[in-house]
Structure formats: structure tokens, C-alpha cells
Chains A and B, each alone.
Chain A
Amino acid sequence: MIFDVKYAGKWVASKGNSVIDSAPTLKTLTNKLKDRKDSTKLIYTLIPKGLIAGSV
């Protein structure tokens, strides 16, 4: 799976190796995708804004 910098700081929904959609908040993202039959099988990930080291 590859995440591009354009998703930094956003929640991203992915399936397999593909990004399905993104949004600033998890709630917004899940609302956008709620009508998909596979919405509960997607992977929802918060993408770090930059490099990370021992902190969140």
C-alpha cells in the first residue's frame, strides 16, 4: 500500500492497494462511504502529517 503526501493529515479509506476516498475527519469519511456495500470492509487510516518519532 502506498499513501501519497496529498493525504497527509487526512483519514483515508483504502481497499487492497487502492485509495478509495479521503476526508479531514473519520466521521465525514464514513458518511461519504456509508452507501457502499463494502464500507465495513474498508481500511480507515489517519495519515500522519509528516515524519514521526516516538510520538503521535
Chain B
Amino acid sequence: MIFPYIEFRGFVEERIFRPMIPVTFEFGGKSVTTYALVDSGADYTILPIEIAGRLNLKLEGQINFEILGAGENSFRVYKSPENIKHIIKKRGFRDITCMAEVYFAESGVTTLLGQKGFLSSLDVNLRGKKRELEIKV
């Protein structure tokens, strides 16, 4: 499966291209599809906490801890109580699915697809010159 990078216009640089793919997160009959950033530097998959609400996930009492960002800034994440189904769809291809734990960030500003559970189970190639990424099972 090949996905074009997502373009962001008007930020500090006029055009920013990010390796983001549409991922459907599904749990208990509820689902949310969102563009998620493939982040090889992230240990875990991290979602904005609002998505937990959409999936009817209760985070009270869940394992939570601080994660460090690149600038030593930290933010708190909550572990999902159950593994969440990840579905990657593209017309003409069989869906790619995996079950993996995710973490929800209180101050999340985007969805990150990290190593544990996602990148560790797939082959992902970044084709920067073409501004596209390829995913193989």
C-alpha cells in the first residue's frame, strides 16, 4: 500500500509534508478514523485523549506515566484498558489489521504511530523524494 504524504500549508515553512496515513481505531463496536503520523522515534502509539471518549474507553485507574518529548518536555499518557484494533484501508487492497495497545495523551496534538505494536509488526518504507510511504505486511 502506498500513501502520499499529507501536506500542511502556511506554517513556519510554507509547505510541510508529513508521513501520515488514515488509520481506523476500533473497539467495542465503536471506531474513529484519523490521519496518524508514522513516528519511528515514538516508543508507543499515542492518540489524543478525546479519541478514548469516542471509543467509550474508561481511563480512570489505568496505568499512566510521563513521556519525554525531544525537547525534554513531558506529557502524561494513559494506557488503554484493552488492545485496540488498527485498520489500514486502501481501495484495491486487502485491509491491514493489527491489535495493539495504545496510549492516550492529555495534551496530544496529533496521533503518533510508534514502535510497539504498530511499526514492530509492519514494514514501512518512507520515500521522501516521492513524498509517499509504503506499507507491507
Instruction: Check A43–B22 contact: CB distance below 8 A.
Output: yes
The residue in chain B whose Cβ has the minimal distance to the Cβ of A14 is: B35
* Interface residues on chain A, size class: 20 to 34
On chain A, the residues within 8 Å of B22 by CB distance are 43
Verify B50–A26 contact, CB threshold 8 A.
Answer: yes
Q: List chain B residues, Cβ under 8 A from A1.
A: 4, 6-7, 35
Q: Are A56 and B11 in contact (CB under 8 A)?
A: no
Residue of B nearest to A2 (CB): B7
Report the minimum CB–CB distance from A19 to chain B (whole Å). 12
Partner of B33, one of A11, A44, A54: A44
Nearest residue (CB) in B for A9 is: B109
The reply to whether the CB of B80 lies closer than 8 angstroms to some CB of chain A is no
- Residue in B4, B12, B31, B71 whose CB lies within 8 Å of A50: B12
13 A-B pairs with C-beta separation under 8 A: A6-B10, A30-B54, A42-B33, A43-B34, A43-B35, A44-B33, A46-B109, A46-B110, A50-B12, A54-B69, A54-B70, A55-B75, A56-B75
Sample of 17 more A-B contacts, CB < 8 Å, known A6-B10, A27-B53, A54-B70: A1-B4, A3-B7, A4-B9, A5-B11, A14-B35, A26-B51, A27-B50, A42-B33, A44-B32, A46-B109, A46-B110, A47-B8, A48-B109, A48-B110, A50-B11, A54-B71, A56-B112
B-to-A contact residues, CB < 8 Å: 4, 6-13, 16, 22, 31-35, 37, 39, 41-42, 46, 48, 50-51, 53-54, 68-71, 73, 75, 105, 107-112
